Amino acid sequence: MSMYEYLKNNQEPIPSWLLEIKEGDKFSRDDFFSSRIVFYPGSYTDGHAVKVFGSTCYSNII
């Protein structure tokens, strides 16, 4: 099973804190870090994480 297939088969619903967030709301580190996150510090020149996770995750631009 590929990583993509695994992530697609094990999706999590968008957390309520992310669905309900509005511009100007205070950022909650506890809520953020209690969610499934990907931290990829080498991403400036390597888009592999975006390719793998981009179609299997949720995002919200504030």
Dihedral sign of CA atoms 31, 19, 36, 9 in order: positive
Stronger pLDDT, 57 or 4, i.e. the higher one:
4
3-state secondary structure of 41: coil
Q: pLDDT tens, 32-42?
A: 888 777 666 76
Q: Identify each DSSP E strand in the chain by its residue range.
A: none
pLDDT of residue 24: 93
Q: Where exactly are the structural domains of the chain? A: 3-53
Non-local (6+) Cβ contacts of 34 within 8 A are 15
pLDDT of residue 53: 67
Q: What percent of the chain has pLDDT over 70?
A: 65
Residue 62 has pLDDT above 60, yes or no: no
Give me the residue label for tokens 């619903």: 13
State the virtual CA torsion across 25, 28, 34, 35 in degrees, nearest 10. Answer: 30
- Compute the average pLDDT of residues 3-25: 82
